[in-house]
Amino acid sequence: MEFTAQIIANYLGGTIDGDPDVKVTTVAKIEEGFPGALSFLANPKYEPYIYTTKSSIVLVNDDFVAEQPITTTLIRVKNAYEAFASLLDLYAQSKQPKSGVEQPSYIHESAKIGADAYIGAFSYIAEGVSIGDNVKIYPQVFIGPNVKIGNNVTLYPGVVIYEECIIGNSCMVHSGAIIGADGFGFASGADTNYKKIPQIGNVIVEDYVEIGANATIDRATMGSTILRKGVKIDDHVHIAHNVEIGENTVMAAQTGVAGSTKVGKNCMFGGQVGVSPHVKVADEVKVGAQSGISGDIRKPGTILLGSPAIEISKERRSSAVYRNLPELMKKVSELERTVQELLQKLDNK
């Protein structure tokens, strides 16, 4: 599709510096721009590219001040990154939506499929499944018995949803994600063998949740593993049995949350964060990449870093000491020699 700068500015409520009639048909990174492309500038690190980019239009923040001549047309908006995301969403919606049932696919006669659904080839929909309106199920998706799926849900190729799980409205699950596999529950016996504990609960995914590729959300031993409204889970994240993730919490790739942990609302976890079992994390907690949480975090808004994770100000001081350990060790050795020499002198008197 083709848009002029004026159409884009009207849609975003922005103002134009340059040619309002210049047209774009696609998007590109600002450093890789070309004529006919739209880019954005939000991170000051990329500002040098705005003076050399070939993109026809660049979205910038209202307060951007150019330090050199600019040849491209600018559209000034309150938040360039957010505005660009809105345009990408508009672009995605403009694509021809898929619909209908492709063959071969299997849909049990008891399954209920809503209006305007798309069922991709080689998908399997078991007995008792309920699927809402405008749901897109791409090829090779497995949906187990008695699963309930809301409206406007997208399941990309290879998604697996085990029996009894519930997916809310407007959710997106990316390829390879598995929802509802058994939790890691075993009891050790007298013979040192491990006896499997049946996992008879389910997973509940509330509205507006996005689950990344190859993420795994385990079913509860009893009750439910729950991802609350607006949760965003990156690729390769593991959520164990009976975990509850609060509203609008986001978790970056390779994060692992152990069983029965409760994470609050609006938290942010960096990549490779590990959380021990039975931990409670307060609302609005931020955890840096590769941190390890082994105990409750009770104070809302705490920022943590390190393994074991501690408050970021303490971790920074500790890191400064750690970096200087060789010099400190040298000084301690010198002090020990000095003390020994003084003691010898005293003994000789």
Catalytic amino acids? Answer: 241
- With beta carbons less than 8 A apart as the criterion, state whether 165 and 143 touch: no
CA-to-CA dists, residue 172 to 42, 83, 92, angstroms? 26, 21, 14
Q: What is the DSSP letter of 297?
A: B
Q: Count CA within 13 A, CB hemisphere, residue 239.
A: 38
Neighbours of 328 (CB within 10 A): 12
The alpha-carbon radius of gyration of the chain (Å, integer) is 27
Residue 220 to residue 198: CA distance in whole angstroms: 10
Residue 178 to residue 211: CA distance in whole angstroms: 10
- With beta carbons less than 8 A apart as the criterion, state whether 285 and 291 touch: no
Residue 224 to residue 206: CA distance in whole angstroms: 12
13: closest CA among 56, 89, 63, 76? 76
Phi, psi of 103, rounded to the nearest 5 degrees: -120, 145
Buried/exposed 155-181: b ≥16 CB within 10 Å, e otherwise: bbbbbbbbbbbbbbbbbbbbbbbbbbb
Phi, psi of 127, rounded to the nearest 5 degrees: -65, 145
Residue 165 to residue 149: CA distance in whole angstroms: 9
- With beta carbons less than 8 A apart as the criterion, state whether 184 and 240 touch: yes
Which residues, in sequence order, are bridge partners of residue 279?
none
Q: Residue 14: helix, strand or coil by DSSP?
A: coil
Q: Which two tokens stand for residue 114?
A: 């809503």
